[in-house]
């Protein structure tokens, strides 16, 4: 598809450029040419990518996963016994629980604390299962003892059964002590380690979003100052180097969109899982009214601050959508794909004259298939995010088109990406600033 710049469009663009130039001069930001614009956009991408370095330390990014099975990372079997339910239905010793878990998880940051809580929760689940099995066995043997007394069974058999029932009663009492101690340990970890670390994490995320707002705002200003991007894109670029550059850009754009969607989805999933876990820590039953169940409100039932903030956090994340950003990235990728298709068509026309280019065209066709697979993957993610799964599945893949992708303007579609990113990061920043305010209110209370 050939990009045509009409006279009325030229006048509109020229007028817009004058307005942008005056605006840039007022703000003290002036770009002498489009090369400076591109450099500024790249510099802001680098700056944005570095704003998560501190968070990476909190999350122990790069550390060997906790479930790594390599021999070098296995702990002694004696230490693991505390997390393995006994086949003999014997509860753990409540006096040794703290020592064993601390040996397994010495680090004190968010990632390690969450892992520690996971181990304690797993141990709690195992101990409850053990206690339940012993209780069922205890009830069964107690009924058997009653029948033996009624039928006048041999005294030594009655004594043996009675002794076994008493032994089970003792083990059940110990199991209850273990469950209580583990529950207390989980509550202590939650309030004394997890909560302060979540405070730091939320503060770090707030700083990250604040810096990202600045970066994408600067990119918006830069792309508005560009003058010849569409004109350069409208020229034919059928050399191998140009085709390779366009191809690489298309792959990077699709990869960017997919990873961005996964990245934000992981954030929402983390907060949702955290809030759901905290809900299970409360003795909470939804209150039914004439108008239906009362919405969950940890503050109304007097829950600690971690419950209130995490519930607010989960609700805020649920309200924020990355759809506009991913859509704009998809539009920009579509515009670049149009350039790719145009230049690939030029290559096909040259093949008619020069048969030696046939292999190059076949390679381009293979790359074309890869691109469309990536597009389908992204389209499915967009459909899932929009909640329209049935429609996406019935079509096999989404036929995606928007006004931005129709007009074929490279600059307009890229500008829309940065504008949507600025709005998205601003909404995220606002949500996290409100969380910080709620945390501060709790400290002052």
Q: Which of 255, 416, 407 is nearest to 338 (CA)?
A: 407
> Is residue 404 within 8 Å of residue 328, measured between CB atoms?
yes
Tokens of 431: 């949500």
Tokens of 31: 């770009």
Domain positions in the chain are 30-227, 229-286+293-445
Global confidence as pTM:
0.76
> Is residue 82 within 8 Å of residue 118, measured between CB atoms?
no
Q: Which of 346, 123, 130 is nearest to 246 (CA)?
A: 346
Please report, in tens digits, the pLDDT of each residue of the chain (445 residues total).
333 334 444 444 455 454 445 555 445 567 888 889 999 999 999 999 888 888 887 777 766 555 544 333 333 333 223 333 333 455 666 666 655 555 455 567 888 899 999 999 999 999 999 999 999 999 999 999 999 988 888 888 889 999 999 999 999 999 999 999 999 999 999 999 999 999 999 999 999 999 999 999 999 999 999 888 888 877 766 677 777 888 888 889 989 999 999 999 999 999 999 999 998 888 777 677 777 677 778 878 888 999 999 999 999 999 999 999 999 999 999 898 888 778 777 766 666 556 555 666 666 677 777 787 877 787 777 766 655 444 443 334 444 445 444 556 889 999 999 999 999 999 999 999 999 999 998 888 7
């Amino acid at each position: 598809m050939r990009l045509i710049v009409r006279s009325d469009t030229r006048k509109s663009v020229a007028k817009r450029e004058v307005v942008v130039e005056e605006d840039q001069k007022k703000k003290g930001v002036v770009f002498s040419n489009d090369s400076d614009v591109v450099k500024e956009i790249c510099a802001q991408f680098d700056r944005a990518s570095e704003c998560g370095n501190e968070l990476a330390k909190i999350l122990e990014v790069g550390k060997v996963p906790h479930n790594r099975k390599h021999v070098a990372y296995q702990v002694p079997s004696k230490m693991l016994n505390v997390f393995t339910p006994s086949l003999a239905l014997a509860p753990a010793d409540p006096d040794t629980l703290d020592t064993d878990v601390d040996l397994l998880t010495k680090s004190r940051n968010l990632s390690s604390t969450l892992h520690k809580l996971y181990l304690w929760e797993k141990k709690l689940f195992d101990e409850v299962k053990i206690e339940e099995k012993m209780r069922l066995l205890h009830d069964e043997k107690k009924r058997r003892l009653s029948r033996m007394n009624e039928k006048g069974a041999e005294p030594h058999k009655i004594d043996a059964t009675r002794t076994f029932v008493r032994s089970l009663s003792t083990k059940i009492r110990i199991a209850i002590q273990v469950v209580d101690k583990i529950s207390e340990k989980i509550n202590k970890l939650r309030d004394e380690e997890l909560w302060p670390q979540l405070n730091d994490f939320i503060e770090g995320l707030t700083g990250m979003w604040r810096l990202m707002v600045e970066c994408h705002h600067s990119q918006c200003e830069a792309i508005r100052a560009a003058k010849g991007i569409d004109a350069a894109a409208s020229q034919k670029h059928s050399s191998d180097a140009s085709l390779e550059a366009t191809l690489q850009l298309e792959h990077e754009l699709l990869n960017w969109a997919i990873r961005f969607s996964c990245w934000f989805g992981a954030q929402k999933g983390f907060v949702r899982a955290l809030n759901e876990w905290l809900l299970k820590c409360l003795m909470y039953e939804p209150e039914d009214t004439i108008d239906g169940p009362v919405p969950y409100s940890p503050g109304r039932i007097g829950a600690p601050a971690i419950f209130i903030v995490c519930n607010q956090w989960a609700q805020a994340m649920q309200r924020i959508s990355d759809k506009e950003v991913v859509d704009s990235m998809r539009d920009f990728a579509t515009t670049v794909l149009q350039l790719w298709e145009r230049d690939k068509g030029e290559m096909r026309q040259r093949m008619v004259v020069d048969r030696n280019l046939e292999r190059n065209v076949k390679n381009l066709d293979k790359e074309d298939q890869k691109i469309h697979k990536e597009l389908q993957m992204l389209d499915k993610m967009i459909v899932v995010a929009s909640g329209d799964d049935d429609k996406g599945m019935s079509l096999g893949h989404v036929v995606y088109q928007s006004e931005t992708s129709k007009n074929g303007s490279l600059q307009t579609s890229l500008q829309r990406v940065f504008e949507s990113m600025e709005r998205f990061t601003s909404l995220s920043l606002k949500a996290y600033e409100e969380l910080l305010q709620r945390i501060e209110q709790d400290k002052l209370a």
